[in-house]
Structure 1
Amino acid sequence: MIFTETKLKGAFLIDVNFIEDERGFFGRSYCSEEFLKHGITTPVLQTNMSHNKEKGTLRGMHMQIAPYLESKLVRCTRGAIYDVIIDMRSESETYKQWIGAELTGDNYRMLYVPEGFAHGFITLEDNTDVTYQVSQYYAPTAERCFRWDDPEFDIKWPLSPRIISKKDNAHALFEDITVN
């Protein structure tokens, strides 16, 4: 596995190190020993998946607060997404900064999202599937969400959303929610 730390400390893009032959390839998509070498010690307690019928489907921006902080390992297993994370750790040097990465069913790339980050994505293709390995059980009372187009963050989405749930479209601006 090839770990590349992003500008947001603790967040990694992870690529599979392929061993190829005439049959195809073999590679690891998870190894606790490799994650430990990069300081990632959170266990996987739950695996979630989403299916998105249409290109331009937007999900986000979501996170959980203490004591239910969660890390995520996100992978697109079919189709393509533009995955966005925002550092919401108030003590961090990169507080309120964001990055985006293209994850596709063909590039096998994953994004490790540390605790204290908000997460969202937009689909770049029809029939896109995403899996999330999560370090915490979902706790509705600890969920915090804010608008995907909040000017506080000025996220540069690669396309305009076509489909957003009523819930995601109704989120408040960041300045109107309590995160810490």
Structure 2
Amino acid sequence: MSKKVNYNDSVLKDVMIIKPETFYDHRGEYVEIFNNETYNLKNLNLNFVQDDISISSKNVLRGIHGDNKTWKLISCLYGSFYFVVVNNNPKSEQYKKWQSFLLSDKNRLQILVPPNFGNGHLVISDTAIFHYKQTSYYDPSSQFTIKWNDPEFSIWWPIKDPILSRRDDLGQFVD
């Protein structure tokens, strides 16, 4: 199988949209969601050290979280979610700018999120499995949280009353 992957820039500088090749036959579907060699050909020499998933129900909103050191490769393994990326770097000309994407097990899109960007997602299917690879180990002390409906960011969400964690409801890290 060829290692054909489409890489596209997004509206936000350094955020990349990735579409891996999908192979279908009478047995089903095969998708290679990461190949270091392919990334290196694109000069994306990232050292992923941790993989995580979250499984959530419809109307659960997780995020917006991030830090100043971690690259994250986001994909949807099952279901679908509305995904938001926010530039949280005060030194950037795109500070507080955001972009949304629809990620699903049907379109297989992936989003590469750089350091200083936050991300959050809202589950729009009955259940969704959110997968992410990280270049840093999770470190709660370095995390920032942006409240999902902070008027300074004016992020549009396709819901008015999501299911939230305490951290996301308050817009700050809590133990």
What TM-score do the two structures reach when normalised by structure 2? Answer: 0.88
Q: Is the 8 A contact 1:122 1:161 kept in 2?
A: no
Query: Which consecutive residues of structure 1, in runs of 5 or more, have no partner in the other structure?
Result: none
What TM-score do the two structures reach when normalised by structure 1? Answer: 0.86
Aligned match of 1:104: 104
Say yes or no: does 1:59 pair with 2:68.
no
Superposition deviation, residue 107 in structure 1: 1.2
Distance in 2 between residues matched to 1:91 and 1:36, nearest whole Å: 28
**Residue pairs, 1:103-122, within 5 angstroms:** 103-122=103-122
Distance in 2 between residues matched to 1:83 and 1:159, nearest whole Å: 13
Percent identity among equivalent residues? Answer: 28
Q: Is the 8 A contact 1:56 1:160 kept in 2?
A: no
What RMSD in Å do the two structures reach over aligned CA positions? 1.8
Q: Deviations for 1:90-144, whole angstroms, at most 9, x for unmatched residues?
A: 3323222111100001111111101111110101111111111011001111111
Moved more, 130-139 or 83-92: 83-92
Q: Is the 8 A contact 1:57 1:161 kept in 2?
A: no
Distance in 2 between residues matched to 1:32 and 1:10, nearest whole Å: 18
Q: How many positions carry a matched residue from both structures?
A: 169
Q: Deviations for 1:55-103, whole angstroms, at most 9, x for unmatched residues?
A: 11101110123xxx11110111111011111112233232221111000
Q: Is the 8 A contact 1:46 1:137 kept in 2?
A: yes
Distance in 2 between residues matched to 1:96 and 1:35, nearest whole Å: 28
